[in-house]
Amino acid sequence: MKLKKLLGLILTGAMVLSMVGCGSSGGGSSAGSGNATEQETENEQEAEDTQQNEDEKSPGESVADSGEEINLTFWHIWPDAEMGAIVESYVELFEDEHPNVHIESVATQEVEYQNNKLKVAAATGAQGDVFMCWGGGYAKAYVDAGVVLPLDDLMEKYGTKDELLDGTLTYGTYDGKTYGLPLKQWAGALFCNEELFEEYNVKIPETFDELLEAVKTFRAAGVTPMVLGAKEGWHIGMIQNALAVRTEGADYMNRALQGEETLDTEGIVKSAELLCELNEAGAFPDGTLGLGSEESQEEFYMGLIPMYFGGSWVSSGCDSEENEIQGLIKAVPMPAVEGGKGGINSFSGGAIDMMMINANTANPDVAYEFAVGITKYMSEEAYKIGDSLPAWKVDVDESEVSPTLRQVEELIKNADGYVLAWDTFLEGAAIEAHYELLQGLIAGTTSPEEFAAGMQAAQEEVKGSEAE
C-alpha cells in the first residue's frame, strides 16, 4: 500500500515537472510542432473549405481577410550572419505585410540539419510548417511517408509556375506531383586561377588531355594542381560525376540515376578511369584522403592552387574580399573528353535545394505564400552574392551580380543538359556506397570496373527494396 502511494506521489511530481516545462515554452508565441498535428485534424476540413472559397484571390488577400492570429515555423540552414540576415529581412517584410502572421525561424547548421534535425523531426511529421529540404533522393522518403504537402493545387491557384524557370521543378516532383519550390540552381565549372596559369606558362585546358598536361606541369613545378578534400565523398563525386556527363552524356545519366538504365556501362567506367588518371598524375593535394573540402579549398582561395572543379557556389568565395583571388578567376566548362557521348554544353548541376511545406501545417495557404516569397527573395539575393543561379525569373541588375558567377552564367547559356550530383539523386544506402567507392578510387583499392559494378549493385538494392 505504502509503496503504491509513494509511486503515485512520484508520478504526480513528474507530471507537475513536465507541466512546468510546458508552461515555460512560452505558450502561444511559438507554434509548437506537437500542437500543430492536433490542430491540423481540427482545421483540416476548415482549411479545405477556405481553399475552395478563395479561388481567384491572391494569397495575400486571403490571409489579410481572415484577421486571425497565425503562427508559422520556418526551418532553414542559414545560422550564419550573411545568409541569416537575408532570411530575417524577408521574414520582417512578410510580417509587415501580414500583421496577423508571426513567423518563427529556426536555423540549424546544414550538416546537422540534413543528418539529424530534419530526419528526426520528419519521422513524426514534426518539422517546421515551411522547411528547407533537398529534392531528388533525399526527400523521397519524406514524400512517401506523407509528411510533405503536395503543391499542385496551390501552384495552380496562384499561377506560380509562370514565374519559375523551365526545368527547375523536376527534382521536387515525385510520381507526377510537385512537392518542392526550387530555391536556386547550380552548375559545375572548372575555376582556374589565371595568374598561376600565366606564371607557370600553362594553357587553360579545353580538353581532358590538356587538363592532364596542365596537372603534370603544375605538379612538376611543385604546385598542387587541383583542389580535392577526399575525406568527404561528395567532393570526389563533383569531379567524377562531371566526367560522367562527358563520357556517358546527360540524358543517359539522368535515366540511369533514376534506375531506368544501368550504372555499370563503359562510359561510367571511363569516367572513373579518368578520375584515376588525374589522381595518378598528382592532380590532388598530398594526403587528400585525410583532408576535408574546406581545408582543401582554402588553399585555392588563398591563391595557392590553380584549379578547382566545383559548383557555382565557388564563385562567392572567388569574389569575396576575404580571399586573395578577386578578379583572377576564369570559369570554364569541364574539359571535353574525346570519344565521350556528352558534349561541352552538358553540365553537372540543377535545382535541388527546395522549400517544402509540412503536410501537417494548419495554414497551408499562408505557408505557401511565405514559401513562395522567401524562395523568390533568396533566389535573387543568393544570385547577387555569387552563391547560386536563380531558379525564378528574377529581375536583377547585372552589375550587382558576382562577376565570377556571371562567367558561369555565360557558360550555361547554351546548356543542353544537366545532371545533378549523384549523391543528391541517389537514395539511402546507395549514397553511402557512392562515397565509399569514390574513396576507393582515390586510395587505389577500387578499380574503375569495380566502381561501376558497385554503383549498379547499390542502385539495384535500393530500388529492389522499394519495389517490394
Partner 1 sequence: MKREKTKLKKTGLITTVLLLIVTAIQLFPLYWMFTFSLKSNKEIFGGNIIGLPENWEWDNYVKIFDKAHLGRYLFNSVVVTGFTIVFTLILSAMATYAIVRLKWKLSNAVYFIFLTGMMLSIHAVLLPLFVNMKPLLDTYWALIIPYVAFAMPTAILLMVGSLEALPKELEEAAFIDGANIYRVFWQIIMPLMKPILSTVAILTFLSSWNEMMLAIAFVSGEKYKTITVGVNDMVGKYSTKWGLIGAGLTIATIPTLVLYVFLSKNIQKSLAMGAVKG
Partner 2 sequence: MERALKDKKAICFFVLPALIWFCLIALLPVFQSAGYSLLDWDGIGDAKLIGVSNYVKMFGDPLFFKAVWNSILLAAASVFIQLPISMVLALVLAGGVRGENFYRNAFFVPVIISGTIIAHLWMKIYHPSYGLLNIGLEALGLASLKREWLGSEGTALVACFVPMVWQYIGYHMLLFYSAAKSISPEIIEAAQVDGATRFQTAWRVIIPMIVPMIKACVIFAIIGSLKSFDLIYILTNGGPVHASEVPSLLMYKKIFISNEYGYASAIAIFIILECLLFTFIVQKIFNHIQKD
Query: Which residues of this protein are in contact with partner 1, per CB under 8 A?
Result: 17-18, 20-22, 24-26, 30, 32-34, 73, 75, 79-81, 104-112, 116-117, 120-121, 123-124, 126, 128, 294, 298-299, 301-302, 313, 316-317, 320, 322-324
Residue 271 beta carbon to partner 1: minimum distance, rounded to whole angstroms:
25
Among 35, 115, 220, 327, binds partner 2 (CB under 8 A): 115
User: Is 232 among the residues that bind partner 2 (CB under 8 A)?
Assistant: yes
Q: Where is 22: in which H helix or E strand? A: helix 2-23
Distance of CA 149 to the CA centre of its chain: 19
313 binds, among partner 1, partner 2, none (CB under 5 to 8 A by kind): partner 1
Q: Which stretch binds partner 2 (CB under 8 A): 8-16, 177-185, 306-314, 333-341?
A: 8-16
Q: Between residues 418 and 422, which has the closer beta carbon with respect to partner 2? A: 422
User: Is 7 among the residues that bind partner 2 (CB under 8 A)?
Assistant: yes
Q: Between residues 80 and 152, which has the closer beta carbon with respect to partner 1? A: 80
Asked if 137 contacts 348 with a C-beta cutoff of 8 angstroms, the reply is no
Asked if 36 contacts 360 with a C-beta cutoff of 8 angstroms, the reply is yes
Q: Which stretch binds partner 2 (CB under 8 A): 163-171, 176-184, 281-289, 335-343?
A: 281-289
Instruction: Tell me, residue by residue from 135 to 174, as one string, x for binding to partner 2 by CB under 8 A and - for no binding.
Output: ------xx-xx-x---------------------------
Q: Between residues 121 and 332, which has the closer beta carbon with respect to partner 1? A: 121
User: Is 22 among the residues that bind partner 2 (CB under 8 A)?
Assistant: no
Among 86, 103, 122, 257, binds partner 2 (CB under 8 A): 122
440 binds, among partner 1, partner 2, none (CB under 5 to 8 A by kind): partner 2
Three-class DSSP category at 357: strand
Concatenate the DSSP letters of all residues of 23-71 into one string.
Answer: HTTTGGGS--HHHHHHHHHHHHHHHHHHHHHTTTS-HHHHHHHH---EE
Three-class DSSP category at 446: coil
Distance of CA 285 to the CA centre of its chain: 26
Concatenate the DSSP letters of all residues of 164-211 into one string.
Answer: BPTTTTGGGEETTEE-EEE--BEEEEEEEEHHHHHHTT-PPPSBHHHH
Q: Which stretch binds partner 2 (CB under 8 A): 40-48, 55-63, 86-94, 435-443?
A: 435-443
Residue 11 CB-density burial (10 A; 0-12 exposed, 13-18 middle, 19+ buried)? exposed
Size of the site for partner 2 (CB under 8 A): 44
Asked if 88 contacts 140 with a C-beta cutoff of 8 angstroms, the reply is no
By C-alpha distance, which of 258, 188, 230 is closest to 426? 258
Residue 67 beta carbon to partner 2: minimum distance, rounded to whole angstroms:
37
63 binds, among partner 1, partner 2, none (CB under 5 to 8 A by kind): none
User: Is 61 among the residues that bind partner 2 (CB under 8 A)?
Assistant: no
107 binds, among partner 2, partner 1, none (CB under 5 to 8 A by kind): partner 1
Q: Between residues 58 and 115, which has the closer beta carbon with respect to partner 1? A: 115
Three-class DSSP category at 347: strand
User: Is 421 among the residues that bind partner 2 (CB under 8 A)?
Assistant: no
Q: Where is 316: in which H helix or E strand? A: helix 314-319
User: Is 220 among the residues that bind partner 2 (CB under 8 A)?
Assistant: no
Say how far apart CA 185 and CA 80 lie, in whole Å: 21
104 binds, among partner 2, partner 1, none (CB under 5 to 8 A by kind): partner 1
Q: Where is 310: in which H helix or E strand? A: strand 307-311
Q: Between residues 211 and 382, which has the closer beta carbon with respect to partner 1? A: 382
Three-class DSSP category at 151: coil
Buried b (16+ CB within 10 A) or exposed e, 380-399: bbbbbbbbbbbbbebeeeee
Q: Which residues bind partner 2 (CB under 8 A)?
A: 2-3, 6-7, 10-11, 14, 115-116, 119, 122-123, 141-142, 144-145, 147, 224, 230-232, 285-292, 295, 427-429, 431-432, 436, 439-440, 442-443, 445-446, 465, 468
